[in-house]
Amino acid sequence: MDDLNLQLVEDFARQVITTTRELETSTIPAADKAQLLAQLADAYAKFSKAFSRVNPAFSGLSVALDTIKTMAEYLRKTDPAALRALQPHLDAIGAILGKRYG
């Protein structure tokens, strides 16, 4: 069951990261982009809350992933070049966090 839980969390986190990257480069209107990001954040929060009830170790992973998301949002606003430098490493960081907290 632990392997299944870990796979579920990693898959969902990868989808969140992939979707966020796609939205950053999309040409849709800013208001639509903001709405989609808000919906994604809401889905992530609901997933995190529900899954942490089933697997308490996920709570630590949730905090770690939220911290990365906060950093990415900050860099997107203040230092896009730093965000571009960070992006190639996000999948590997997510995998490390998954192993640590999974």
Q: Where do the domains of the chain lie?
A: 2-101
* In the predicted structure, residue 26 carries a pLDDT above the cut 70: yes
* In the predicted structure, residue 16 carries a pLDDT above the cut 70: yes
* In the predicted structure, residue 1 carries a pLDDT above the cut 60: no
Calculate the alpha carbon distances from 6 to 21, 26, 59, 101 in Å.
Answer: 22, 30, 13, 9
| Type of residue numbered 51 | F
Confidence of residue 102 (pLDDT cuts 50, 70, 90): low
3-class SS shares of the chain: helix, strand, coil, % to 5: 90, 0, 10
Q: What is the pTM of this model?
A: 0.51
| Type of residue numbered 73 | E
- Residue 78 pLDDT: 92
* In the predicted structure, residue 89 carries a pLDDT above the cut 80: yes
